[in-house]
């Protein structure tokens, strides 16, 4: 299974595959399971449906590692329009951005200006911007970037990955600025020099980091200097969901002190169940034409998903 997972993660970074495979109809058909369409309109339609079931959403336009700053400007302008649409259509949806899609590989100052424009617009519209976390070479710069932008805007959150050894230290350090954190397990191919190679250790670390966040939330009404504004528990792992629910109950942490965040098309029944139980649930809806690397990471998360590709190929 690990071989297949590694192969899929290799595919996610292979330029020939990135350019060739998306042209095949069966690949296009199989990807539909994880994204409603390539344009923001289809994402907004799904966001509305979620909203009718008491599930909020976060929208992300797929793309990463652009090669010209002009592309980053276009992405920024696109998200500015998305924030307008969310506001005018009154959909409880936020946005999630990737720094390398806004120029991070080329110019950090320009990226900061792009993100500043998004946070400002989001603030005007009473909205929120989440920053995705990418592969490990970007982590130090992304955490520092987050500290800088969070110094200017409070309506911005950062994603952290439980598979990295360093994340506990990053979180401890970030707590002094009252961050908003979405915790996930991590989706990239990483070496054992930087990330836990065993899934059970990643799961354990996820629980430990969640507890750190929730405990701070518990104490943040007191006098301690550290605090956290928003907590996103970003996983489809039902064992972890149950643990978090139990931990929150035992420690009198109200249901609305955190939210479960999951991906469009994955475990929809679990998303509904949590929402019906009175928990806050947010689904991340991806859209856009540059979906291949992201799609390969989704397949790698559950290699059994490859079966859907095979079925689309046969049919």
Residues acting as catalytic residues: 132, 182
Q: Which of 103, 157, 179, 186 binds ligand FAD (CB under 6 A)?
A: 186
Nearer to ligand FAD, 53 or 224 (CB): 53
Task: Pick the piece of the chain touching ligand FAD (CB under 6 A) from 12-20, 49-57, 78-86, 301-309.
Answer: 301-309
Nearer to ligand FAD, 163 or 248 (CB): 163
Site string for ligand FAD, 87-126 (x = CB under 6 A): ----------------------------------------
CA gap 111, 47 in Å, rounded: 27
| CA 65 distance to own-chain centroid | 17
The residue with tokens 């955190």 is: 258
Q: Which of 104, 128, 146, 188 binds ligand FAD (CB under 6 A)?
A: 188
Is residue 75 within 8 Å of 40, Cβ to Cβ? no
User: Is 235 near ligand FAD (CB under 6 A)?
Assistant: yes
Dump the DSSP string for 120-136: HHHHHTT--EEE---SG
CA gap 54, 108 in Å, rounded: 38
Nearer to ligand FAD, 116 or 267 (CB): 267
Dump the DSSP string for 19-82: HHGGGSHHHHHHHTTT-S-SSHHHHHHHHHHHHHTT-EEEEEE-----SSHHHHHHHHHHHHHH
User: Is 146 near ligand FAD (CB under 6 A)?
Assistant: no
The footprint of ligand FAD (CB under 6 A) covers: 132-133, 159, 161, 184-188, 234-237, 261-263, 266-267, 284, 298, 301-302, 305
């Amino acid at each position: 299974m690990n071989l297949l997972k590694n192969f899929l993660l290799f595919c996610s970074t292979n330029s020939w595959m990135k350019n060739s495979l998306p042209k095949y109809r069966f690949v296009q058909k199989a990807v539909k399971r994880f994204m409603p369409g390539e344009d923001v309109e289809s994402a907004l339609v799904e966001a509305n449906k979620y909203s009718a079931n008491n599930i909020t959403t976060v929208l992300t336009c797929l793309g990463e590692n652009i090669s010209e700053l002009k592309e980053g400007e276009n992405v920024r302008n696109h998200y500015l329009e998305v924030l307008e649409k969310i506001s005018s259509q009154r959909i409880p949806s936020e946005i999630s951005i990737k720094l390398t899609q806004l120029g991070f590989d080329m110019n950090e100052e320009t990226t900061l200006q792009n993100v500043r424009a998004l946070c400002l617009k989001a603030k005007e519209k009473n909205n929120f911007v989440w920053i995705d976390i990418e592969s490990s070479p970007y982590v130090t710069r992304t955490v520092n970037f987050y500290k800088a932008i969070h110094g200017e805007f409070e309506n911005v959150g950062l994603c952290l990955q439980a598979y990295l050894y360093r994340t506990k230290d990053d979180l401890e350090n970030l707590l002094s600025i009252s961050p908003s954190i979405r915790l996930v397990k991590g989706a990239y191919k990483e070496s054992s020099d930087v990330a836990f190679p065993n899934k059970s250790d990643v799961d354990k670390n996820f629980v430990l980091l969640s507890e750190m966040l929730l405990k701070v939330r518990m104490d943040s009404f007191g006098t301690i200097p550290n605090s956290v504004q928003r907590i996103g528990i970003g996983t489809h792992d039902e064992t972890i969901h149950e643990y978090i629910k139990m931990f929150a109950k035992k420690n009198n942490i109200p249901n609305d002190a955190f939210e479960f965040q999951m991906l469009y098309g994955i475990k929809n029944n679990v998303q509904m169940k949590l929402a019906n139980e009175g928990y806050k649930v947010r689904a991340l809806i991806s859209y856009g034409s540059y979906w291949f690397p992201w799609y390969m990471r989704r397949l790698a998360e559950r290699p059994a998903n490859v079966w859907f590709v095979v079925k689309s190929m046969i049919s």
